Amino acid sequence: MTKQLHIIYVFIAILCILSSCAVRKQSTLFYSPTDQFTDTIKQVYVVNDQGISDAYYKIKVNDQLAVRNVQNFEFGASISPGATASSGTSGNVSSYAVDLDGTVNLPAIGKLEVAGLTRREAALKIQDVYKQKLLKDPIIELSVVNLKVTLLGEFAKQGNFLLERDNTTLIDIIGEAGGINKTADPKSLKIIRGDRSNPEIIYVNLNDINSLASKKLIMQNNDIVVLQQTKSQAMSEKLQRANNVIQPLLVVINLAVLIFTLTR
């Protein structure tokens, strides 16, 4: 009887091994039919390619701008009417919303049109106005504090990461997250970009250093970066769950067999 039970247990384990691909599919975040090709990707493979985005972000309505004069750390440290404090910026720097008319309302100088400008262009424009009206030789630093990417899956740290600089790359963001876990499959990384109803999907093989040359790996606002676990890890977890169910059953059955044997 016991031998038969062990044969059943081995049979279940073999089934789990044979279904390892299906196991990872079940645990895949934001699964796409094209995910099945990830094992054959050598560098970077793009589905629904929407071209190369502008590496230099253009300021838009409702963006939150953090502005400070690096020559005077007190500048921008207090919130003026209409400004919203942002926890995404370093230090006590306030953020100011870009209004529907494309302007931002800044202390002492009032409204200034910034929509459509890059971060550098807006910083220089603000710097010139402050120099004319208020400050001596200001050096204005500007960041858009609402720009972010989201990391999910087998990263040392998951969550939202701010895009504080132009040309922030995938490797920059992975570095901020502390790298990838030992259980991660480097060939399974994908970036979901653009319109959520018809997104561009970018698959990346992190094992190949030539992948780093792709301009597709410059991060864009609201990118979702997903990294799956290896098939062996997915299989191991399924076997562990099966074992957690089977082992108590084996104990109960063995106990029943023992009682039956002793009472014969």
Please state, in angstroms and rounded to a whole number, the distance separating the CA atoms of residues 137 and 134: 10
- First-last CA distance in the chain: 15
Please state, in angstroms and rounded to a whole number, the distance separating the CA atoms of residues 23 and 255: 32
pLDDT at 34 over 60: yes
Residue found under tokens 């409702």: 62
pLDDT greater at residue 177 or residue 166: 177
Q: Which two tokens stand for residue 92?
A: 């006590």
Query: Tell me, what's the pLDDT at 91?
Result: 46
Confidence of residue 25 (pLDDT cuts 50, 70, 90): low
Query: If you average pLDDT over each of 7-21, 189-203, 220-234, which comes out highest?
Result: 189-203
Confidence of residue 130 (pLDDT cuts 50, 70, 90): very high
Superfamily of domain 29-54+147-227, CATH level 4: Outer membrane lipoprotein wza domain like (3.10.560.10)
Average pLDDT of span 15-23: 52
Task: Quote the radius of gyration of the chain (alpha carbons, Å).
Answer: 27
Q: Which two tokens stand for residue 111?
A: 């409204």
Query: Tell me, what's the pLDDT at 93?
Result: 63
pLDDT, tens digit, 9 for 90 and up, residues 107-127: 989 999 999 999 999 999 999
pLDDT at 88 over 50: no
Type of residue found at 38: T
Fold of 64-144: wza like fold (3.30.1950)
Query: Tell me, what's the pLDDT at 142?
Result: 93
Domain locations in the chain as residue ranges: 29-54+147-227, 64-144
**Contacts of 260 by beta carbon, 8 Å cutoff, 6+ apart:** none
Query: Tell me, what's the pLDDT at 37?
Result: 63
pLDDT greater at residue 52 or residue 98: 98
pLDDT, tens digit, 9 for 90 and up, residues 203-240: 999 999 999 999 999 999 999 999 998 876 556 656 66
Please state, in angstroms and rounded to a whole number, the distance separating the CA atoms of residues 119 and 63: 11
